[in-house]
C-alpha cells in the first residue's frame, strides 16, 4: 500500500453507501442537486476515502457526519455465496479490487466472521489460480469463466505464477522465446 | 507496479549461480595452467586414448537413484506432503552410520590451512571413480539447473540420458504440485501458527514458486490484519488487568512469543 500504488488509489475510489446524520448546507451537489442542502437521513454512495473521513467524527467523540454501511460487494448475500462455493463467485463483477476493498472495510468494521470467510475464499481460489496458471493452455479452455471473475489482486497472482512458469520453460528450452 | 523488472530472481540468474558448482572435465587438448581470480586452474593434460574410461556421472544423476527418489516422493506415506531429504551437511553423519561420531573431513588450502568445504565447493556434482551406493540418494540444491545443463552439454557421458531427462521432468512436476498444495496449509502462517516446510527444495524450485507463494502469504496477512489487531489488543488488555492465575500466564506468554 504505497502512496504511488495505482491499485491502492483505485481502491480508494470505490463507492461506499453512507447515510448523512446532519444537515449540510450547500452539499446537495453530491446528490445531483447543486445549490441545495443535504437533509439528515439521505443515503448517498461516497468514495471510500471521503466516507472514511466524514465518518471519523465518531472516533473523536463529536457527533459524526455520516454513518457507513457495508458495500453491496461484502453483503450477507455475497458472504453466503462465498461460504457455499468460493470458486463460482464472480468477484470482479462485485468490485474490481475486491480484496483491497475488504481489507479497508475490515479496518472500519469489526467482522471476525468475514475475515474467516474471506481467508478461506482466498485460499481456495489461490489454489485454483495456480492450477490454471501452470496449465500450458493458459487462459483458454474450461477456466475462462473463473479467470474472468478474478479481482485485481488475484490477477497479479495469476500473472506472477504464469510468467514464472513460462520463463522456466523458455530457460529449459521447452518453449521458444516469443 | 511501476518497477519494470520482475520481482525475485529469474531462471537464468539462478542458473548463473549454479555455475559455481564444481564439475569434472576430461580434457581433449593440452592447456597450460591458468591463474584466474577464482583460483588457479591446473594444467589440462588429455589422458592417453588407450586408458579405459573410468568416470561415472554424479551419484544422483543416474536413472536408478532418480527413480528411487521419484518413488519415495510419490508413493511413500511419510513423504506425501514433504520433499525428499537433502544431502547431509558436510561433517554430519549420514543416515546410514547411525550412532557413529560425525566425521568432518577437513581439506587443506595450498598454504596448509585447514578448512571445511561448504557449498558450492562440495563435490556433489563431480564425476566419480566408482559407483558408490553407501548413502541414500539425495538431490543437491541446484539439481534442476545442473541436471539441465549436463543433459544439454554432456548427454553422451550420462547413463541413459533420455531416461534421466524424463525422470528429472517427472520429479520436477511432482514436487511443484506438492509446493502448490502447500497453499492450503498457509492460512496458519498468516494468523499465527505453522507454515509450509520447504526442506530439500532446490534453488530453481524456490525461484519458480516465489512470486506466487509470497503473494498468497502477503494477501492472507492483509485480510487477517484486523483480526490480528483485535487479538493483540485483547491480549494487551488482559495483560494490563492482570486478572488471571499463573498457569494461564505461561500460556499467554508462549502465545505472545510467536510474533
Question: Which domains, and CATH codes, for chain A?
Answer: 1-69 (1.20.58.2050), 72-178 (1.20.58.2050)
pLDDT tier at A162 (50, 70, 90 boundaries)?
Answer: confident
CA distances to A30, A63, A69, A101, B87 from A43, in Å: 11, 18, 10, 20, 66
Cα–Cα dist B139/A17, whole Å? 57
- Residue A123: list chain B partners with CB under 8 A: 183-184, 186-187, 216, 220
DSSP designation for B31: B
d(CA A16, CA A101): 10
Report pLDDT digits (tens) over A14-55: 888 888 888 878 777 777 777 788 888 888 888 888 888 887
Contact residues on chain B for A86, CB-CB shorter than 8 A: none
Mean pLDDT of B221-237: 84
Rounded CA-CA distance A169/B204 in Å is 12
Distance CA A146, CA A139 (A): 10
Alpha helices in chain B (DSSP H): 11-18, 63-75, 143-154, 161-181, 187-190, 203-241, 246-257
Residue B126 to chain A, least CA–CA distance (Å): 22
Mutate which: B146, B166, B212, B213, vs A, most A CBs within 10 A? B212
Shortest Cα distance from B26 to chain A (angstroms)? 25
**Stretch (H or E) spanning B73:** helix B63-75
| Higher pLDDT among residues B205 and B181, named by residue | B205
The neighbouring-strand residues paired with B107 are: B115
Collapsing DSSP to helix, strand or coil, B86 comes out as coil
Among A119-128, B6-15, B127-136, where is mean pLDDT lowest? B127-136
Q: Which among A41, A35, A34, A1 has a CA at the least distance from the CA of A18?
A: A41
The number of angstroms, rounded, from the C-alpha of B108 to the middle of its chain's C-alpha atoms is 26
CB atoms within 10 A of CB A69: 15
Pairing of strands A66-68, B39-41: unpaired
* Average pLDDT for A118-124: 87
C-alpha grid cell, residue A143: 477456466
Specify which of A2-6, B114-118, B215-219 reaches the highest per-range mean pLDDT.
Answer: B215-219
Checking if the pLDDT of B99 tops 60, the result is no
Distance CA B174, CA B68 (A): 14
Q: How far apart are the first and last CA of chain A?
A: 33
Total residue length of chain B: 259
pLDDT greater than 50 at residue B20: yes
CA separation for the pair A36, A17 (Å, rounded): 20
Amino acid at each position: 500500500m504505497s502512496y504511488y500504488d495505482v491499485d491502492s488509489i483505485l481502491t480508494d475510489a470505490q463507492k461506499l453507501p453512507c447515510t448523512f446524520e446532519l444537515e449540510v448546507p450547500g452539499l446537495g451537489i453530491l446528490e445531483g442537486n447543486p445549490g441545495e442542502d443535504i437533509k439528515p437521513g439521505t443515503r448517498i454512495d461516497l468514495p471510500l476515502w471521503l466516507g472514511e473521513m466524514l465518518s471519523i467524527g465518531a472516533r473523536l467523540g463529536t457527533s459524526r457526519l455520516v454513518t457507513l454501511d457495508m458495500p453491496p460487494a461484502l453483503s450477507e448475500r455475497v458472504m453466503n455465496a462465498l461460504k457455499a462455493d468460493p470458486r463460482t463467485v464472480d468477484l470482479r463483477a462485485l468490485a474490481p479490487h475486491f480484496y483491497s476493498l475488504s481489507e479497508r472495510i475490515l479496518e472500519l468494521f469489526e467482522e471476525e466472521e468475514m475475515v474467516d470467510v474471506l481467508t478461506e475464499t482466498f485460499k481456495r481460489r489461490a489454489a485454483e489460480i495456480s492450477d490454471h496458471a501452470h496449465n500450458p493452455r493458459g487462459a483458454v479452455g474450461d477456466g475462462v469463466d473463473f479467470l474472468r471473475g478474478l479481482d485485481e489482486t488475484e490477477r497479479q497472482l495469476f500473472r506472477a505464477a504464469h510468467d514464472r512458469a513460462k520463463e522456466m520453460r523458455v530457460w529449459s528450452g521447452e518453449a521458444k522465446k516469443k | 507496479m511501476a518497477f519494470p523488472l520482475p520481482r525475485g530472481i529469474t531462471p537464468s540468474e539462478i542458473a548463473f549461480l549454479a555455475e559455481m558448482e564444481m564439475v569434472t572435465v576430461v580434457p581433449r587438448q593440452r592447456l597450460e595452467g591458468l591463474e584466474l581470480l577464482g583460483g588457479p586452474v591446473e594444467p589440462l593434460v588429455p589422458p592417453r586414448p588407450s586408458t579405459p574410461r573410468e568416470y561415472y556421472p554424479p551419484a544422483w544423476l543416474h536413472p536408478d537413484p532418480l527413480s528411487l527418489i521419484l518413488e519415495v516422493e510419490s508413493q511413500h506415506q511419510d513423504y506425501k506432503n514433504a520433499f525428499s531429504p537433502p544431502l547431509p551437511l558436510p561433517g554430519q553423519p549420514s543416515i546410514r552410520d547411525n550412532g557413529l561420531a560425525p566425521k568432518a573431513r577437513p581439506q587443506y588450502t595450498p598454504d596448509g590451512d585447514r578448512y571445511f568445504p561448504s557449498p558450492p565447493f562440495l563435490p556433489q556434482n563431480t564425476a566419480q571413480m566408482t559407483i558408490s551406493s553407501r548413502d541414500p540418494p539425495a538431490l543437491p540444491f541446484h539439481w534442476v539447473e545442473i541436471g539441465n545443463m549436463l543433459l544439454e552439454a554432456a548427454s553422451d557421458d550420462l547413463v541413459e540420458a533420455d531416461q534421466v531427462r524424463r525422470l528429472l521432468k517427472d520429479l520436477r512436476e511432482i514436487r511443484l504440485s506438492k509446493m502448490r498444495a502447500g497453499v492450503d496449509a498457509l492460512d496458519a502462517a498468516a494468523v499465527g501458527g505453522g507454515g509450509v516446510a520447504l526442506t530439500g527444495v532446490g534453488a530453481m524450485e524456490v525461484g519458480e514458486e516465489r512470486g506466487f507463494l509470497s503473494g498468497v502469504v502477503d494477501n492472507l496477512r492483509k485480510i487477517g490484519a484486523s483480526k490480528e489487531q483485535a487479538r493483540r489488543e485483547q491480549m494487551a488488555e488482559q495483560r494490563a488487568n492482570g486478572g488471571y492465575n499463573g498457569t494461564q500466564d505461561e500460556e499467554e506468554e508462549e502465545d505472545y512469543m510467536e510474533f
